[in-house]
Amino acid sequence: MKIMNVAGARPNFMKVAPLINAMSRHPGLQLSLINTGQHYDHALSQLFFDELNLPVPDRFLGIGSGSAAQQIGRTMIEFEKVLEEIRPDLVVVVGDVNATIACSLITARNRIKLAHVEAGLRSFDRTMPEEINRLLTDQLADFLFTTEPVARENLLREGIPSNKIHFVGNVMIDTLVKHREQADRSSILADLALSPAGYGLITLHRPGNVDDLPTLKGLLGGLETIQKDVPLVFPMHPRTRSRLESFGLSEMVSRMKGLQIVDPLGYLDFLKLMSNARFVVTDSGGIQEESTILGIPCITARENTERPVTVELGTNEVVGTSPERIVAACQQVIAGKWKKGKMPDLWDGNAAERIVRIILDSP
């Protein structure tokens, strides 16, 4: 059986790694890995391949940056060439980036079976590009592998047959479980002169937050207040750094003596940083999940989440983008009033193996 795994952006690499590892233990599977190249610099791409022991991709499409239409269009054109050449029996896509929907469309048009890992997640906010990608990919998929029970309800409501839906757990957590001990040996805390539980971790990159001047300025205003009480470290996505400069906000940031901005980090350094943070302020879906497993308070600077289990069971709270609410949430953590959270079902490090067994057992 020939299985093609597709990745292209930083979050995908953490999801594909355990899948390839699990598949490689089954001699009857012939694997290929396609890197679309949506994230292509060293910190956002190659470093992750190295740290997660991912094999050299069979094809690198080199899509690069651009508008959604440009990325999706270029990916479809280049991916179809690879698909016709390799002719897999199954294509596996993960997450909700532009590469996910582009490769799903071409796979379906070529009548090749499609598996979607992380199916059924919904923010119910169609202004988010990822929401459109998720919705369309799930309509095309033959295997829909879900991370939490509510995802099944979402898919059934959208007309997906129940026999296509499989609750398997979370491959992102597979990667975290496997690499947590290795990450603990990282020197990142010493490198940045940080002490355990003595700082807050910040990540902001979503277009709705960083592409809108009033929103971004408000978020920075909240950070300005927080950094007076707790040092903050901010591994900054290139998109966010670009917006700071174009909006003329760099000077505002430079005045914050308690805010340390660093370049994007590799997986192991970032995991060590998150594992030892007092709290995380983020707009990332994956960090909501990882912080839940790590038991780190997570303050989500968005109006919604497609991962409600991190709120219902985990350490996450969705507080919106109001500076006042973000500051109030951080102050709650500092005062020791945050919830503890617990592990969601099947987030045990074995999701990838469950996925492989379902694929192998299918007709």
CA separation, residue 118 to residues 96, 166, 305 (Å):
8, 10, 14
Beta bridge partners of 165: 144
d(CA 115, CA 172): 16
Look up residue 224 and give its amino acid.
Answer: E
Count the alpha carbons within 13 Å of 237 in the hemisphere toward its beta carbon: 19
d(CA 360, CA 363): 8
Q: What tokens appear for 43 in the block?
A: 């910190």
Q: Is 179 a catalytic residue?
A: no
- Say which of 116, 179, 205, 237 is annotated catalytic: 205
Instruction: Kindly report the number of other CB atoms within 10 A of residue 2's CB atom.
Output: 14
d(CA 363, CA 212): 49
Q: What tokens appear for 200 in the block?
A: 């807050």
Tell me how far the alpha carbon of residue 76 is from its chain's centroid.
22
d(CA 117, CA 355): 9
CA separation, residue 206 to residues 18, 76, 100, 217, 221 (Å):
26, 24, 17, 14, 17
Beta bridge partners of 94: 117
Q: Are 47 and 8 in contact (CB under 8 A)?
A: no
Tell me the catalytic residues: 205
